[in-house]
C-alpha cells in the first residue's frame, strides 16, 4: 500500500519554508501531493495556475512529489486521492490552536485522515506568504525567503 500525504495550502507565494516542508515530507512518504487550494475567500496575487506552475518548477527534482489544485473540503479531496495523511507546517506556538482546530475538524469529516505537523527549519520559523507579499508590495526584497523564480515573479508583479 502506498503511503500518500497531501500538503495543502494557498501557497501565495510558495516560500522557501514551504519547500523545506515539502522536501522533508518527501523523505517520509512514498508520494506527496502539494495541493494548491482554490480559496474563494482570499484574493491571491497569483492565479491558481501560476502558483501550481511555480511549485512544479521548484519541486521538479523530487520524483515523488506531485502538484495539484483543489476546491472544497480537504477531507473530501483526501478521500478522492486515497490519501490518509495531511501535512501541516507549524511555525510558532501561535499556529498551534488554529491547526489543532483544523485537524480535529478534518478528522470529524474524514475518520481515516490523520494530520502530521512538521516544523520548518529555524530560519523559516517566522516566514509567511503574507509577510513576503507585504515586503514586496512596499518595494522591499526578501532574498533567500522565496525561490529565485518566485522572487522574479513578485518583482515583476509589484513593478506594475
Catalytic residues: 18, 42, 91, 129
- Find cell 470529524 and name the residue: 108
Rg (CA), the chain: 15
Contact 146, 15 (CB under 8 A): yes
CA-CA distance, 39 to 2, in Å (whole number)? Answer: 29
- Find cell 512529489 and name the residue: 65
Q: How far separated are the first and last CA of the chain, in Å rounded?
A: 49
Amino acid at each position: 500500500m502506498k503511503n500518500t500525504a497531501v500538503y495543502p495550502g494557498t501557497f501565495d507565494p510558495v516560500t522557501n519554508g514551504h519547500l523545506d516542508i515539502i522536501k522533508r515530507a518527501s523523505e517520509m512518504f512514498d508520494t506527496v501531493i502539494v495541493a494548491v487550494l482554490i480559496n474563494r475567500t482570499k484574493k491571491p496575487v497569483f492565479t491558481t495556475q501560476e502558483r501550481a506552475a511555480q511549485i512544479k518548477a521548484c519541486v521538479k527534482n523530487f520524483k515523488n512529489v506531485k502538484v495539484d489544485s483543489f476546491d472544497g473540503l480537504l477531507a473530501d479531496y483526501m478521500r478522492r486521492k486515497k490519501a490518509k495523511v495531511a501535512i501541516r507546517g507549524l511555525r510558532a506556538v501561535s499556529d498551534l490552536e488554529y491547526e489543532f482546530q483544523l485537524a480535529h475538524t478534518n478528522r470529524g469529516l474524514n475518520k481515516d485522515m490523520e494530520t502530521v505537523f512538521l516544523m520548518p527549519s529555524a530560519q523559516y520559523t517566522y516566514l509567511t506568504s503574507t509577510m513576503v507579499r507585504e515586503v514586496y508590495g512596499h518595494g522591499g526584497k526578501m532574498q533567500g525567503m522565496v525561490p529565485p523564480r518566485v522572487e522574479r515573479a513578485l518583482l515583476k508583479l509589484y513593478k506594475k
